[in-house]
Amino acid sequence: MIKSIEKVIDLGDGRSIVIETGKLAKQADGSVIVRMGNTYLLATVVSAQEAKPGTDFMPLSVEYREKFSAIGRFPGGFQKRESRPSDYEILVSRLVDRALRPLFPEDYHADTFVNVSLISADKESTPDALAGLAASAALAVSDIPFKGPISEVRVARIDGQLVVNPTVSQMQKADLDIIVGASYDNIMMVEGEMDEVSEAELLEAMKVAHDAIKIQCKAQMELVEMLGKKPAREYNHEENDEELREKVWKETYDKAYAVAKKANPNKLERLNDFSQVVKDFIEANYVDEEESEIPMDLIKKYYHDVEKEAVRRFMLDENVRIDGRKMDEIRPIWCEVDCLPGPHGASIFTRGETQSLTTVTLGTKMDEKIVDDVLNRSIDRFLLHYNFPPFSTGEARPYRGVGRREIGHGNLAMRALKGMIPADNPYVIRVMSDILESNGSSSMATVCAGTLALMDAGIKIKAPVSGIAMGLITDTKSEKYVVLSDILGDEDHLGDMDFKVTGTTKGITATQMDIKVAGLSYEILEKALEQAKAGRLHILEKLVETMPEPRADYKPHAPRIVSIKIPKEMIGAVIGPGGKIIQEIQASTGTILTITEEGMFGQVDIAADNKEAIDKALDRINAIVAIPEMGKVYKGKVKSIVPFGAFVEILPGKDGLLHISEIDWKRIEKTEDVLKEGEEIEVKLIEIDSRSGKLKLSRKVLLPRDNDKSK
């Protein structure tokens, strides 16, 4: 039997995490099992020995997948096997990718695949908080060049206390939930949601997370020592021409700096000016060369470095941004609501050259999203979908559907807004953001447009939410830095941090941060958070100017939902055999009915686009669930005639006997001489048999006594 090597991490609360290697998947470059309780993650990493020709980036692929067998379940669907990754699996993959990617050498370009699989699970451990540790440990025991280790942990605030990697049960009471990724020295990534917390509270949670991560990084280092440290593999993935590099820098840096100094707010014009610098360089130096002989890849690579340094240097030295703004200045904003007649709510939010057209659709229980993940079987009643078509950035390429980035951005916006939906909201809500223009944080534009569209739809949100993306430019040599509010796409690409924060006037509701530089102090993070607060409050003012509060009522064409509670034992009566009764009510009234069992009651939701239809359905349901009352007068229908009288339906499914002697004061020989089947008559309930529950009715007590002609 193969003996594995293990390292135990004591969490200090009776729980532990075990990293095990040397037993499974030994042909991978690195593989580990990370286990906590009955939750087991298998992480493997494989990297090609050579880079593909022409590759000038890090081709990293991170896949997190969950096996249904891990919890003893069959997958759904006809195939009964795992298929495409769920949104949750994609989001976890992104969390791991964002922490790992900055730590590979810049000149390492080999295809690298990190796979993390949930192979055993329990219902209390959250595997997403362990995936980053597993991926890093697999890299640590391999010979792949990697500036790690890193780890990721979840921190939640429960009953006022910050808890590291809480259980699923504990999470039910959390008002702050973040996952932090970090190396021993630096925080790399933060993502999470919270219930309007302060900047200081978020910063405290990040510090608690980093303290826990340091322990896990130390454990990985000790595991590597136990194995006998492998030297990193040798590689040479770039061919460089130092003479050409020097020439490009010498002849283009001042020109690129001059373009930055023009501070042109127009994105396309600015890009064209930067592109012209390198075009002029090529034309000046390769006049007689064939195009195929010009080292275009190297020139573009070196010029990219020139442009990056020129832009960063300009902002650090002159304290002005490339579009002319101050560091904390927000681009011009304009908003519009009620801009489309068809949706139940609609808005346009434009900030500078970023624009979101967002719509809201209100639905019934039948529109709920059924989530059937390995560890999560639930219902989603608030959906947010984010679309980023190529034309939004002027790209000429087809739109092939939603990618990982869109799922991630949509999830961030969803987390920012969902806490503001009131608990008594009767609707299933779908928010859809279509990005029409993009130059800097379209996800934050989605949050702002989503707030307006929800209010336009008449949803009584608890408070408006705005969002802002922050950036950072640092110079480690001089220790100078500038924090940028409302970053451009260029500033995101060339900067050292992308920090998105959403919130209300009371506090933060969601955040996402990616840090691309080592040694970022908490003082800088604190400044970024405070500057972000000022920015998002400014944006919030613009939203409130456009729409101060939600509409008093829903749009005329929005569905109306009325909810009533009925006794649990009456649910079957409303549904009817095979759904016959509920289907007939829907067809005859033009409504949609859904019934949910809640304890001793059933909740019936009645939806329609007009009040008259709802009232008709209400009357039908109330009639079905009504209890016959002694002495009450009912308008009933004669269902059948018998020799001794007639049976009259006074309530749906409830018949009573109208004896021939109770039809009239006068003597009647035959019931059919007075009544006909299908005829509607008024009767009074005069007796309910205490043992059988049978109903006895009278018609004559409602007639004048002088009708008795026999006297």
Annotated binding site for Mg(2+): 492, 498
Beta bridge partners of 467: 502
Residue 418, classed as helix, strand or coil, is helix
- Which residues lie closer than 8 Å to 433 by C-beta, 6 or more apart? 356, 357, 358, 384, 385, 386, 387, 410, 413, 442, 445, 446, 449, 450
**Cis bond before residue 53 (omega within 30° of 0):** no
Annotated binding site: 492, 498
Gap between the terminal Cα atoms of the chain: 108
Residue 205 one-letter amino acid: A
- Which residues lie closer than 8 Å to 361 by C-beta, 6 or more apart? 343, 344, 429, 430, 432
The CA radius of gyration of the chain, in Å to the nearest whole number, is 34
DSSP letter at 108?
A: -
For the packed helices 442-456 and 522-546, what is the interaxial angle rounded to 10 degrees? Answer: 40
Report whether 25 contacts 43 (CB < 8 A).
Answer: no
Residue 408 has φ and ψ, to the nearest 5°, of -65, -45
Q: Which residue shows structure tokens 């930067």?
A: 274
Task: Report the b/e string of 237-275 with b at 16+ CB within 10 A.
Answer: eeeeeeeebeebbebbbebbbebbeeebbebeebeebbe
Instruction: Report the C-alpha gap between 526 and 506 in whole angstroms.
Output: 18
If phi > 0 it is left, if psi is from -120 to 50 it is alpha, else beta; for residue 292 that is alpha
Q: Is the dihedral of CA 181, 187, 188, 194 positive or negative?
A: positive
Burial class (CB in 10 A: 0-12, 13-18, 19+), 585: buried
Residue 383 one-letter amino acid: L
